[in-house]
Amino acid sequence: MSDLLQHAFNGLVNGSFYALLALGLAVIFGMLGVVNFAHGAFFMLGAFGAFILLNEAGVSFWIALLVVPLALGVVGMLLERLLVRRLVALDPLYNFLLTFGLTLIFQDLLRMKYGSQPQPYPQPAGLRGTVDLGLFDFPAYQVFVLVFSVLVSVGAWLLLARTRVGMIIRAATERPELTRAMGIDVGRWISPVFGFGIALAALSGVLAAPMRAVSPLMGADLIILVFAVVVIGGLGSIFGSVAAGFLIGMLQALGNVYVPGLATTSVFILMAVVLLWRPAGLFGREETAV
Amino acid sequence: MRRNLIPAISTLAVVSLLAACGGGAGGPSGGGGKISDDKIVLGVINDQTGIYSELSGPNAVEAVKMAVEDFKAKHADDAVSKNIEVVVADHQNKPEVANTKAQEMYDRQQADAIFDVPTSSAALAVAGQALAKKKLYFNITAATTALTGDKCNKYTFHYAYDTYMLANGTGTAVTEAGSKNWYIVYPDYAFGQDMEKSFSKAIETSGGKVVGKKSSEFPNTSGDFSSQLLQAPAAKPDVLGTMHAGGELVNLVKQYNQFKLKDKGVGLSVGLMFITDIHSLGPDALAGTRFTDAWYWNFDQQNRDWADKFKEKTGSRPSFAHAGNYSAAMNYLEAIQAAGTDASDDVVKNLEGKEINDFFLRNGKIRAEDHRVIHDVYLAEVKPKSDVKEDYDYEKIVTTIPADKAFKPLSESACKMGQG
């Protein structure tokens, strides 16, 4: 039993990354209708940001955790202003291609500078031990990742549910035209929301640096899975993407133990089932309903 | 100076005569003094940008070029040909790409020999092309023993290392040092499965036991190995043997350290490790880990001298694959020099059974029976950071495994060269 719990807990830790990434994708998709393929690249840039700050300037993990998402969030806003915005009116495929192209550029730039070999990043001091969770010990850093992502998710939820800004974003995410008709300037909020989504990707990248291989391709490997998470949770559904993130993490971890070899495939099987059964995703809203 | 013009001119004359007759390109003919197309072309096929580009990649090309330069400098005017080219192709670790590139190199770029080729499936494809085109192939960075086993052929040579040598070195040494019970984790594809089998055999032969094994999906998209790691302690192993490579190895070791398996009495042993992997993880993450290395740059002055030249060219220290590429290219050129021709059959005849001693091949010998190039290999241990005196100074050599003990004995080889 404690084994099962340990694996489930471990799944939640992996789910943290999916949840944060999916949350960012969901707000961006909801608000702009853009499938941001560069999300994985920003995850990678987040990890590299932490690595570069540590190596070039000796900046600690804790400061990187704040600075890197902010900086990349600003980059995201500029990106939206300068490029993404110009293509929004066209077929969604154009922005898909744009962000895919950006991904390749970011990956190759870092590969030119640092090569494909993973870069070293130490665990932050203070989180190197293990924590006794009653039934089992678990690495302190992993526990921190889970707690921190839950806090960020809850924080994002409070921001969206309890503040006026959040209300506008939610309204604009789910019914952009109607919101506009209410006399709210939706356009003003597009850049910050895009930046916010990117910052979340960067944040999970920084969190990943101490426990994953920091390499230019680390995001490309992950992003396909995160797309599956978003589809399962419901495209554009904020709560759905977070819940599906943790759910998929757990499914994968338990799959690894009980049906090894099918762990990743099981995610896509679930996606297929969900699409057949509830085409809008587990928590998504059918367009015709309401 | 001037008299050397005569053989050069006559070579030219013979070659153009043959070309004019339209008979030059055909089958290999016995006579000496002929260089096909009036030039020697060395091809390198490997991963130029992906996961294996650091351990071989562009710097392996640089190593082959260094061999060409050194060869020219050494033989100067006596060189069998001064016209030596190096051509490169990126196979992205895909066997079908490697197959096409090899075909193109042999046919269109007039390559006389191909070098390197990481990824076992890609290497086997190139070996197939070598046989079909009757041109040479020196494998350095692929690990499969099939190249000198049931897939061996007359034109393919296997340098540096293979799965048998790794398992035999590390599996035996670690078991005999007292870690009897092994828990093996491996990636679920050809290389990992091959490694798992080789290690299990070596462990059991030396009196150990595999108490558990677990595969991981390949490629592991989530980068997470904790489920495999969490299951290990229940089987009460002395040591966890990982058969992962490159970035996957880095992920796994990071997580091994985070789960504190060492404190639970589970040591770590790595099936295949390149010096670039130690660099990625930092020596402390691996300190004390033992593994088998085909060559180490800081082993002695002879190695260091070459490593210094390599650093001048590339700015970094060589992996054993880089050194192996140099040595293979150099010995190939020397064989042409000795045979007086680059005709494949004559070069193969010169190489077979040859005993070689250079900075890479210590007590080296090219086995005629299966084309395995045997040489001394090393059981190495990763130093703690406090003992590291300069960049890439990561290894302590524990013992030298002599050439005749390091590789699969001929009696166990499935190679039937006659049919190749």
Q: Are B281 and B354 within one domain? A: no
Separation CA B328–CA B160 (nearest Å): 9
Of the residues B335, B352, B375, the one at which a domain ends: B375
pLDDT at B29 (0 to 100):
39
* Cβ–Cβ gap A118/B280 under 8 Å: yes
Per-range mean pLDDT, top range of A26-35, A257-266, B226-235: B226-235
Q: Averaged over B277-296, what is the pLDDT? A: 92
DSSP for chain A reads -HHHHHHHHHHHHHHHHHHHHHHHHHHHHHHH----TTHHHHHHHHHHHHHHHHHHH---HHHHHHHHHHHHHHHHHHHIIIIIHHHTTS-HHHHHHHHHHHHHHHHHHHHHHH-SSPBP-PPPTT-SSEEE-SSSEEEHHHHHHHHHHHHHHHHHHHHHHHSHHHHHHHHHHH-HHHHHHTT--HHHHHHHHHHHHHHHHHHHHHHHTTTS-B-TTHHHHHHHHHHHHHHHH-TT-HHHHHHHHHHHHHHHHHHHHHSTT-HHHHHHHHHHHHHHH-TT-SS---SS--
Q: Are B81 and B95 within one domain? A: yes
The answer, for A266 touching chain B at a CB cutoff of 8 Å, is no
Distances (CA, A) of B17 to B22, B23, B36: 9, 9, 12
Cα–Cα nearest to B295, from B329, B320, B312, B314: B320
Q: A110 near A219, Cβ under 8 Å?
A: no
Chain A residues in contact with B277 (beta carbon < 8 A)? 117
Q: Are B178 and B153 within one domain? A: no
Nearest to B227 among A7, A111, A139 (CB): A7
Q: State yes or no: pLDDT of A53 exceeds 90.
A: yes
pLDDT at A115 (0 to 100):
80
Question: Of A112 and B65, which is predicted with more confidence?
Answer: B65
pLDDT at B356 (0 to 100):
96
Q: Are B156 and B168 within one domain? A: no
* Cβ–Cβ gap A120/B280 under 8 Å: yes
The answer, for A111 touching chain B at a CB cutoff of 8 Å, is yes
Q: Are B119 and B242 within one domain? A: no
Question: Which two three-digit tokens encode residue B11?
Answer: 């070579």
- Nearest residue in B to A143, CA atom: B258
Q: B359 near B303, Cβ under 8 Å?
A: yes
The answer, for A217 touching chain B at a CB cutoff of 8 Å, is yes
* Cβ–Cβ gap B226/A116 under 8 Å: no
Q: Are B150 and B277 within one domain? A: no
* Cβ–Cβ gap B254/A212 under 8 Å: yes
Query: What radius of gyration do chain A's Cα atoms show?
Result: 19
Position B280 in a domain:
yes
pLDDT at B20 (0 to 100):
40
* Cβ–Cβ gap A217/B49 under 8 Å: no
Q: What is the pLDDT of residues B69-98, one digit of tens each?
A: 999 999 988 999 989 999 999 998 889 999
Crossing angle, helix A218-233 and helix A2-32, to 10 degrees? 80
* Cβ–Cβ gap A120/B251 under 8 Å: no
* Cβ–Cβ gap B217/A217 under 8 Å: no
The answer, for B51 touching chain A at a CB cutoff of 8 Å, is yes
Cα–Cα nearest to B263, from B247, B240, B279, B241: B240
Q: Are B66 and B169 within one domain? A: no
Position B59 in a domain:
yes
Position B43 in a domain:
yes
Lowest mean pLDDT among A169-183, B139-153, B300-314: A169-183
- Nearest residue in B to A17, CA atom: B222
Q: State yes or no: pLDDT of A6 exceeds 80.
A: yes
- Beta strands at B355-356 and B364-366: parallel, antiparallel or unpaired: antiparallel
User: Can you say how many angstroms the Cα of residue B351 is from the centroid of all Cα atoms in its chain?
Assistant: 18
* Cβ–Cβ gap A222/B221 under 8 Å: yes
Q: State yes or no: pLDDT of A286 exceeds 80.
A: no
Position B14 in a domain:
no
For B:282-301, CB contacts with A below 8 A are 282, 285
Position B332 in a domain:
yes
- Mean residue pLDDT of chain A comes to 88
Q: State yes or no: pLDDT of B16 exceeds 50.
A: no
Quick one: what percent of chain A has pLDDT higher than 90?
Answer: 48
Residue to mutate among B51, B221, B276, with most A CBs inside 10 A, is B221
Q: What is the pLDDT of residues B139-173, one digit of tens each?
A: 999 999 999 999 999 999 999 999 999 999 999 99
Q: Are B250 and B287 within one domain? A: yes
Grade residue B25 by pLDDT with cuts at 50, 70 and 90. very low
* Cβ–Cβ gap B54/A14 under 8 Å: no
The answer, for B11 touching chain A at a CB cutoff of 8 Å, is no
Q: Are B75 and B203 within one domain? A: no
pLDDT at A30 (0 to 100):
80
Q: State yes or no: pLDDT of B256 exceeds 50.
A: yes
Separation CA B212–CA B412 (nearest Å): 27
Position B150 in a domain:
yes
Crossing angle, helix A218-233 and helix A92-114, to 10 degrees? 150
pLDDT at B30 (0 to 100):
39
Q: What are B143-148's contacts with CB under 8 Å, separation 24+?
A: B143/B191, B143/B194, B143/B195, B143/B272, B144/B120, B144/B190, B144/B191, B144/B194, B145/B194, B145/B198, B145/B408, B146/B120, B147/B123, B148/B367, B148/B370, B148/B371, B148/B372, B148/B408, B148/B413, B148/B415
Separation CA B17–CA B24 (nearest Å): 9
* Cβ–Cβ gap A14/B230 under 8 Å: no
Question: Of B24 and B194, which is predicted with more confidence?
Answer: B194
Grade residue A89 by pLDDT with cuts at 50, 70 and 90. confident
Q: Which domain holds residue B98?
A: 34-161+299-375
Q: Are B239 and B278 within one domain? A: yes
Nearest to B282 among A122, A141, A264 (CB): A122
* Cβ–Cβ gap A211/B250 under 8 Å: no
Shortest distance between the Cα of A242 and any Cα of chain B, in A, equals: 17
- Mean residue pLDDT of chain B comes to 89
Q: How many A/B residue pairs have CB atoms within 8 Å?
A: 106
The answer, for A7 touching chain B at a CB cutoff of 8 Å, is yes
State the CATH number of the domain containing residue B212. Answer: 3.40.50.2300
The answer, for B254 touching chain A at a CB cutoff of 8 Å, is yes
Q: State yes or no: pLDDT of B1 exceeds 90.
A: no
pLDDT at B7 (0 to 100):
53
Q: State yes or no: pLDDT of A174 exceeds 80.
A: no
pLDDT at A262 (0 to 100):
79
Shortest distance between the Cα of B253 and any Cα of chain A, in A, equals: 10
Question: Of B223 and A193, which is predicted with more confidence?
Answer: A193
Distances (CA, A) of B104 to A140, B33, B97, B349: 54, 26, 11, 25
The answer, for B255 touching chain A at a CB cutoff of 8 Å, is yes
Separation CA A47–CA A49 (nearest Å): 5
Q: A40 near A223, Cβ under 8 Å?
A: yes
Q: Averaged over A210-218, what is the pLDDT? A: 89
Q: A43 near A21, Cβ under 8 Å?
A: yes
Q: Are B189 and B156 within one domain? A: no
Position B20 in a domain:
no
Q: What is the pLDDT of residues B260-280, one digit of tens each?
A: 898 889 999 999 999 989 998
Nearest to B221 among A111, A122, A221 (CB): A221
- Amino acid letter at A52? I
Lowest mean pLDDT among A79-83, B29-33, B403-407: B29-33
Nearest to A221 among B219, B246, B282 (CB): B219
* Cβ–Cβ gap B228/A256 under 8 Å: yes
User: How many CA atoms lie less than 13 Å away from B13 in the CB half-sphere?
Assistant: 6
pLDDT at B52 (0 to 100):
85
- Nearest residue in B to A18, CA atom: B222
The answer, for B247 touching chain A at a CB cutoff of 8 Å, is yes
* Cβ–Cβ gap B251/A212 under 8 Å: yes
Q: Averaged over B311-333, what is the pLDDT? A: 96
For B:209-228, CB contacts with A below 8 A are 214-217, 219, 221-224, 226-228
* Cβ–Cβ gap B51/A217 under 8 Å: yes
pLDDT at B340 (0 to 100):
93
Nearest to A261 among B217, B279, B281 (CB): B217
- Tally of structural domains, chain B: 2
Shortest distance between the Cα of B221 and any Cα of chain A, in A, equals: 5
Q: State yes or no: pLDDT of A289 exceeds 50.
A: no
Q: State yes or no: pLDDT of B189 exceeds 70.
A: yes
- Beta strands at B209-216 and B181-187: parallel, antiparallel or unpaired: parallel
* Cβ–Cβ gap B260/A122 under 8 Å: no
Cα–Cα nearest to A263, from B294, B366, B219: B219
Quick one: what percent of chain B has pLDDT higher than 70?
Answer: 91
Query: Measured on CA atoms in the order B66, B67, B72, B74, is the torsion positive or negative?
Result: positive
Q: State yes or no: pLDDT of B217 exceeds 90.
A: no
Q: Are B45 and B128 within one domain? A: yes
Chain A residues in contact with B53 (beta carbon < 8 A)? 115-117
Q: State yes or no: pLDDT of B33 exceeds 70.
A: no
Peptide bond into A260 cis (omega under 30): no
Question: Which two three-digit tokens encode residue B94?
Answer: 């895909």
Position B4 in a domain:
no
Q: B223 near A213, Cβ under 8 Å?
A: yes
* Cβ–Cβ gap A111/B49 under 8 Å: yes
pLDDT at B2 (0 to 100):
46
